[in-house]
Every structure is written in C-alpha cells, then in structure tokens.
Structure 1
C-alpha cells in the first residue's frame, strides 16, 4: 500500500517536473544561480547583484562598478535545512506550515535529483536532529519524505526554537561548497539571533531562505474571546481578539518582528522568499524560478 509520502511524491512529480524542469536551462542547472567556481565574464553592476561579486580592481580602473560572473557547476550538491520545531507544527484542516514545508522540501529534492544532482537534508527540532547525507535518485527523495513524515508525527519538544543552533549544525555538517536551502518560519525567542549563523553559511555556500508564514500570525482575525497557546512554550492566555487596544498592540509587535526579520535577511545577503500556508507551494516554486531568471538577465 502506498504511504502518504509515496502519494505526495507521485502527485508532485507530475506537477513539479513538468512545470518547473522545463523552465531550467539544461538538466544540470538549478532554480537558483550558483556562483560556481570558474570565472566567465564581467558586466556592469545592477542593484540586484550581490556586492560580494564586485570586482574591485576593474571597478577602480573604470570608475564604475563591475561584477564577476561565473559558470555554474554541472554537478550540484544541495542541502535542505528543515525547521521541524513546535512553531512549524500548527495545522488547520490539513494545511499549515508543516504541510507547506513538506511539499516544498519534497518538490525541491525531486527537482534537484531529477537533474542527476545529489541532495541531503537536515531535519531539526530542539530535541532531535536527523542528518541524511546527500544522494541522488527518486528512492532517496522518498526516504527524505518518509523521514519528514516520521519526524512530524513525533511530539515536538516544548521550548523556543533554537534557530541559531540549527544553522550552526548546518555549517558544521555541510563541508563542501553546496546550495543550502533553509526552510523555516524564522520565528524564535531569540529574535534574529540566527543572523550570524546564516551569514556564516554564505561565506562558503550559495544560500536561499524560504520563510513559511501562516496568515494568522500576521493578521489575527476577530474571533471574540479565544484561548491562545504558544506552540513552543505551551503557555495559554485568554484574549479578546476584538479588543481594539489588543489588536493595536499585536499589530505593532508583528510589524516590528517582520521588519527585524526583513532587515536581518538583507544584512546576510541571502536570497529570501516568503511562502504563505494559503499558497500553492508549487506555484510558489514557479514564481521563484521566474524571479531567479529575471535577476540573471
């Protein structure tokens, strides 16, 4: 009997490989531009370019900023760093951050391995971490899907998400230059204490952050008196979601948190994408491909 992971992969293969793979220029290319290792050309700097690729010698001679372009590696090793902490487990009618993360992870893994590339995964929550070494092939993608399924079935340990610890583990695990895709809500008690860890990853790897958000976290609907529980600490409080003062305070806190996360992402220089739980993850991946192509032009 086919498991949920088998059914998910079967459904995604039809949509992912037909809709995404055809948009990639060659079987070895990824949906994200890798810096590669071989210098190819120079061109004028544009505001979308990574400042780390500026050729300062040429810039000084021509008195205009120029960036180096590199050929992309024909064989790619990709790593999925997956936040499976308590705050990512909230589900409503089968849809939520956990389900969105699963579809994104399986879709990306199949897309990478379809081109003959290897993909590894780091499954992280505060209590347990699972590292799946990079391999290629559909069977390996199924293994990743099964491991996510098993990890999601476990009761997540209470406590604030240690995102800094997750990124430290990623830096210690991924030794060779790779594409590292971090999938998380980037919400933790430490605020943006994950910023140094994400920056450290960029020193050696091409890093992409996919932030999964639930619309309820950004704009709590007016539901009257409700009991709200912190997914990570288990703390429960009774709140009046219709109280104008409560809504104003909550809006200010959410705005401050979102601004802090956006600013930290910009400082790290990481390509960041936001995927809502109400979105189709496959449509979100298509949009990422198109955005990456626009940046390369």
Structure 2
C-alpha cells in the first residue's frame, strides 16, 4: 500500500479504537466491489465495501476468488488483517484492507456520533439506484453557473444533474480516452469531455473525487493537481470509513452505509455485489468540515 494511503489507514484505526474479527467477505469477478463483514468484540456487526479494480468499471479477474481464499481471512483479527495487507502491493489487497477499515468504522458512521465529534452531517436513505445520483443532486449546493466542475472517475450518473448548473463539466478517468469517443451522425458532441491527464483538474473550482483513488493509490496525485479548487469532495464506498483523517485532505465525504441484515447480504450475493446501491435501507452519509456545504 502506498505510504500516504497507509498513513490514513493507520491513523484512522487509532481514531476509532474498535476491533473485531472477520466474519465474512463477499466478492464476485462480475463486479468490482467487494464487501467485508466484521463481528465486533461485543458481538455487533459492521460492513464495509471497496472497489477492487485499478481503474474504471473494468470487471475483476476470475483469479481474485482464489487469491482471496488463499488469504485465509475468516475469523481472523480485523486489525491484524489490515496490517498484513498494507505490507502487500496490489489493488485487491488495498481494497480488502479498506473495506475492513470501513467495517470497523460502521458503528461510528451515523449522524449522532459524527456530529458529537464536531462534523457537519447529512444522513438519508438512497432514493434511486446508484448513490452517485445523490451526489449530482445535492452537489448543486456547492456549485454555481460560473464554476468549472471536474469529476474524477466516470460517474456518468451524476452528469445529468450537474451539467445544467455549471459553466463546464469535465471528467478525469484512467481508462484510455479513445473509449469515450462518441459518434453522432449529425455531428453533435458530448457536453462532458473526458480526459486521462490530471492536468484537467488544475483550474477546476469544484472537484468530486472517486474513493477508488484510495485502493489504486492515485489520491495523492489527484489532490496535488486540484489543490487550488474551492471545494474537494470524496465519494463512494471506497472512502466510507471514519472520515477524521480524510477531512484533513478534502472538504467533504459522501459515504455509503450498507445494512448488515442477513436478507440484504443474501440479495447482495444474488446480485453479484450490486444490490447494495438500490437497497432502500442503504444510507448516504455526507460528512463535511464546514457549514457552507450544508446550506
């Protein structure tokens, strides 16, 4: 794990103080997200999720199942697992470490606790499918018609809600730019331009950053290129752990909290790790440093 990301993980573990054992891990090569379940020392349950691919929405490798089995995680001390995985290189190992950190953070990711710790919080259920639509809608509080807004990660589901509210909407994605060429026989062009050069962030006023930049190790570079932005926000399951350290780097975090009920877990398995984004019990937890983002 990259040193800067490891530092975030280690300090977050100190902040939450919780521990438990690995109760389960769900993964499928069909979709890039994996979920870790922990049983706390007092018997409670926590759940965390993280993207397990390096870039884009590319599907996981069938070999990932064998790799995860080979780690022999079931029943092991969660903090010990995180520590071991941080010593290894690879997005899959980073993803398991981060999803386990999110699972240990689970009981602290609620409005009551976070506000008590001094954060500004909006918590609500997912209303429609992919939680990114919520970013597009609520993101309107942060932006104006004069703003250049950049989205790191091809969060296409936010575009319809942002495009009419800004001067320019652009996207940074690691996938080859050729994949985003779009043909119109009438010669029309997409309104959202997709770049694979982080230089496109340099003059952005507001930047939404996918949590995938944590397991793939690109977050430090992304933050460097958007250091002049007025607002920087992390979003997604991969950044859904206790935000005490993340909010020293960015202004806000859009986290996701997945229900731990057995029936929900079974539906997640049935859907190959997709159902959590349409489950009506899944919650969005926005956490902010400043009150302006909540106005």
Instruction: Report the TM-score when normalising by structure 1.
Output: 0.29
**Higher relative contact order (CA closer than 8 Å, sequence separation 6+):** 2
Give 1 or 2 for the bigger CA radius of gyration.
Answer: 1
Q: Which one has the bigger helix percentage?
A: 1
